[in-house]
Structure 1
Amino acid sequence: MNEHSAYRPNLELETRLSKRLLDVLIRAGLLVVLVTLCYRIFSPFIALMSWALVLAVTLYPAQQWLARRLGGRSGLSSTLLVLLIVVVLVLPTAVLMSSVADSVHLLLAELQQNTLQIPPPHASVAGWPLVGDKLYALWELAHNDLPAAIASLQPKIGNLAKTALALVAGVAGAVLSFLASVIIAGVFMAYGDAGERRGRSIFNRIVGGRRGDEFAQLCSATIRAVALGVVGVALIQAIVAGLVLLVAGVPFAGVLAALVLVLAIAQLPALLITLPAIAYIWWSGMHGTALAVVYTALLLLVGVIDNVLKPLLLGRGVDAPMPVILLGAIGGLAGAGILGMFVGAVLLALGYQVLIWWVDSNPDLEVVTELPPAPLQPPE
């Protein structure tokens, strides 16, 4: 009797624990299924919503300043800010994207109709190390007999044409996505107070009270610093450079503007693009001396304008290394297109900052102060 009475409570405890464990596993499984379904539904919009959130966090102080000037009307201030961004950024970006598409279409049409004219190579090209002879021979062949040169490069030309057509097809989508993200950011800013409180509540729930507020401030500061000081400066520099090149009649102005954007995000000087463009303006002879001087001054200014904009837009407050930002931009471009380049740079820099903050704020790390050695006592 004693053995049975002692075993029965243990059996009942095991039964209750097994039922409790089964209940927990079922709930966890249902939660995993729900999260998976939500992710699969939301995944096509991740890049778009992420960039809209980055824009909202970045522009929220400006929206609050404007709302105070308008008597606290948050919706009106958000609408005006969105319209300003559309005029200043979206429309010039659409013009440059259209230039890229036109340049690609023109190049493909000239290649198909054999009307593309290649200038003769300079004699100094043959003296370049390693590739000079082959490059000179190919260039001369393209000048004298372009169809033969194109035939010698098959199937590389075919693959390049497919890539170019895919790029043209994605131009309209990129512009529309950028415009949609700006509009969604305006909606976020209109409800910014409630969103900020909800965000802080989420951070407090994840990492704790005081540390949650620190984490929220770190995320906001990093997003604003990278979005303004790196991505914002690069976007402004690329748009201004592209518009100047477009007005100056430099071929492939949109493509050159895209190269300026990539170089600026990588923290490389835009002069690598603007100086050859200046040389082309003088070499082509399309403009008079006065216009050539004006375009030269503008392109030189564009090449160094980041040194002025970065301190003004908090660029020097970015603690993330430039390779982290560059890898984020390249990875985002490969994974989500042009819009992903901006999102990737910001999010990878944010992840780096969060990792460093988590390592430095270890609560178990104790600072051990070394006690000074006791003075020696003289022997008795």
Structure 2
Amino acid sequence: MLPTPISEKALSRGMLDVLIRAGLIAVLVVFCFQIFRPFFDLLVWSLILAITLYPLQVKLSPMLGNKDGRTATLIVLVVIGIIMVPTYLLGVAMAESVENGMTLVKSGEFKVPPPAESVASWPLVGKQLYAFWMQAATDLTGLVMKLSPQIKDFSLVLLGAAAGLGKGLLIFVFALIIAGIIMAFGEEGSRSAVQIASRIFNPEKGPQVTALCTSTIRAVAQGVVGIAFIQMLLIGVGFVLKGVPAAGLLALGVLLLGIMQLPATLITVPVIVFVIATEGASVATIVFSIYVFVAGLADNVLKPLLLGRGVDVPMPVVLIGALGGMVSGGVIGLFIGPVMLAVGYQLFWQWVEDQYQGSGPADQKPV
């Protein structure tokens, strides 16, 4: 017997049912996203921290009797201590510096040394810098009154940055606590991630996509933070040996700039100008300037060497994803960008290679 043809009325009714279901699912997704959005940054940071620290959890767990909860708690407490102790000491040091500076200014003993005559001969900005510096040395009160609107705006920006830093630190601590909970159930979480990826893609690609996302997040986290830490050490040693004022604070600024993917030259170049202006051009200052300037550019060499290690995609893909994600999504985009780009890269080449199945060996993926 021939199959009964489907009437147009039944087909329209079925299409309407599909559209209604799709609309209801879309409404549900929108409502869920609206509820989830305030916690998005916190949970994404928690996942990033959990994925990054989980290898340490695996190594320490046998030493603590295979107690995952105890191991995760220990890791979280140690990391919080590593973060909070230097932060507290830095805050105390900054508060003392501000208090001492205000006391010195009120006492009238604060004097700006006059600039060297060679400053006026610097190209482009020499004359303006010399005039500004000389006025600061001879009439500091008048200069402060003249620049009071700019000083007020800068103070507001500085206070806003300090508030944002405090908020970010608080979010990071809460994210670290949630990451500890995730690490305590790491095996179950890993199986769930594989199941979700297998459902989205297919049972064959699911484990591969999960492993790719995990390795990319770890490579970016270790590469970005590791590169920033190495650069901080290189530049900080030069600052300390040269006796630059607030060398530790400047080195910490280099670390923060490295994590935010900003060039360290934002700090090294002003320091070089300050050292040459105060000490003059000598062999020591020239050697210091060359060393610090080169150290400030070290990330350009270290990124190609470290950022894409352990990831089964070309390093430029990870690097472009990290930089593009940073520009479009901030610090979180620094991690999400390379993950999405790496997954897209793998899926694209999988799609390209699938057309060759059954007609010969597939071309190799470019590396």
Tell whether the structures are fold-level matches, with TM greater than 0.5. yes
The residue that corresponds to 1:366 in the other structure is 356
> How do 1:37-76 and structure 2 match up within 5 A?
37-76=31-70
| Amino acid of the structure 2 residue aligned with 1:213 | P
Q: 1:71 to 1:270 in 2, by over 3 A?
A: farther
Percent identity of the aligned residues? 36
Whether the 8 Å contact between 1:121 and 1:139 is mirrored in structure 2 is: yes
Which one of the candidate residues 226, 230, 255 is aligned to 1:260?
A: 255
Following the alignment from structure 2 to structure 1, what is the Cα–Cα distance between the partners of residues 216 and 78?
24
Which one of the candidate residues 133, 151, 167 is aligned to 2:161?
A: 167
Q: 1:77 to 1:303 in 2, by over 3 A?
A: farther
Following the alignment from structure 1 to structure 2, what is the Cα–Cα distance between the partners of residues 110 and 332?
43
Structure 2 gap ranges (5+): 280-291, 362-367
> How do 1:14-33 and structure 2 match up within 5 A?
14-33=8-27
Which one of the candidate residues 78, 81, 89 is aligned to 2:83?
A: 89
Which one of the candidate residues 337, 346, 352 is aligned to 1:348?
A: 337
| Amino acid of the structure 2 residue aligned with 1:328 | G
Structure 1 gap ranges (5+): 1-8, 285-298, 334-340, 371-380
Task: Compute the displacement of 1:116 (Å).
Answer: 6.2
Q: 1:134 to 1:276 in 2, by over 3 A?
A: closer
Whether the 8 Å contact between 2:194 and 2:206 is mirrored in structure 1 is: yes
How many positions carry a matched residue from both structures? 336
Task: Compute the displacement of 1:249 (Å).
Answer: 8.9
Following the alignment from structure 1 to structure 2, what is the Cα–Cα distance between the partners of residues 150 and 200?
62
> How do 1:1-380 and structure 2 match up within 5 A?
13-96=7-90, 117-153=111-147, 155-234=149-228, 238=232, 250-251=245-246, 253-254=248-249, 256-263=251-258, 266=261, 273=268, 276=271, 316-317=309-310, 319=315, 320=317, 322=319, 324-333=321-330, 341=331, 343-362=332-351, 363-366=353-356
CA offsets, 1:231-257, max 9 Å, x none?
A: 2442586599889989x8933844651
SS of the equivalent of 2:190 reads helix
Following the alignment from structure 1 to structure 2, what is the Cα–Cα distance between the partners of residues 224 and 47?
18
Under a length normalisation based on structure 2, what TM-score does the superposition of the two structures give?
A: 0.73
Larger CA deviation: 351-360 vs 178-187: 351-360
Task: Compute the displacement of 1:123 (Å).
Answer: 2.2
| Amino acid of the structure 2 residue aligned with 1:354 | V
| Amino acid of the structure 2 residue aligned with 1:361 | Q
Following the alignment from structure 2 to structure 1, what is the Cα–Cα distance between the partners of residues 102 and 35?
38
| Amino acid of the structure 2 residue aligned with 1:348 | G
Task: Compute the displacement of 1:73 (Å).
Answer: 1.0
Task: Compute the displacement of 1:112 (Å).
Answer: 9.9
Task: Compute the displacement of 1:55 (Å).
Answer: 1.0
Following the alignment from structure 1 to structure 2, what is the Cα–Cα distance between the partners of residues 350 and 47?
16
Q: 1 or 2 for the larger relative contact order (CA 8 Å, sep ≥6)?
A: 1
Following the alignment from structure 1 to structure 2, what is the Cα–Cα distance between the partners of residues 109 and 22?
77
SS of the equivalent of 2:204 reads helix
Q: 1:330 to 1:311 in 2, by over 3 A?
A: closer
Following the alignment from structure 1 to structure 2, what is the Cα–Cα distance between the partners of residues 161 and 214?
50
| Amino acid of the structure 2 residue aligned with 1:353 | A
CA offsets, 1:247-296, max 9 Å, x none?
A: x893384465123331466496789649949x96xx79xxxxxxxxxxxx
Following the alignment from structure 2 to structure 1, what is the Cα–Cα distance between the partners of residues 111 and 52?
47
Following the alignment from structure 1 to structure 2, what is the Cα–Cα distance between the partners of residues 99 and 332?
33
Following the alignment from structure 1 to structure 2, what is the Cα–Cα distance between the partners of residues 358 and 69?
39
Whether the 8 Å contact between 1:267 and 1:322 is mirrored in structure 2 is: no
Whether the 8 Å contact between 2:233 and 2:251 is mirrored in structure 1 is: no
Q: 1:17 to 1:239 in 2, by over 3 A?
A: farther
CA offsets, 1:112-155, max 9 Å, x none?
A: 99886533223222122111111221222222223433444464
SS of the equivalent of 1:366 reads coil
Larger CA deviation: 55-64 vs 20-29: 20-29
Whether the 8 Å contact between 1:78 and 1:187 is mirrored in structure 2 is: yes
Task: Compute the displacement of 1:58 (Å).
Answer: 1.2
SS of the equivalent of 2:356 reads coil
Task: Compute the displacement of 1:106 (Å).
Answer: 7.7
Following the alignment from structure 1 to structure 2, what is the Cα–Cα distance between the partners of residues 355 and 53?
20
Under a length normalisation based on structure 1, what TM-score does the superposition of the two structures give?
A: 0.71
CA offsets, 1:27-61, max 9 Å, x none?
A: 22222222222222222222221111011111112
SS of the equivalent of 2:115 reads coil
CA RMSD between the two structures:
4.5
Q: 1:208 to 1:59 in 2, by over 3 A?
A: same
Whether the 8 Å contact between 1:53 and 1:185 is mirrored in structure 2 is: yes
SS of the equivalent of 2:345 reads helix
Q: 1:212 to 1:114 in 2, by over 3 A?
A: farther
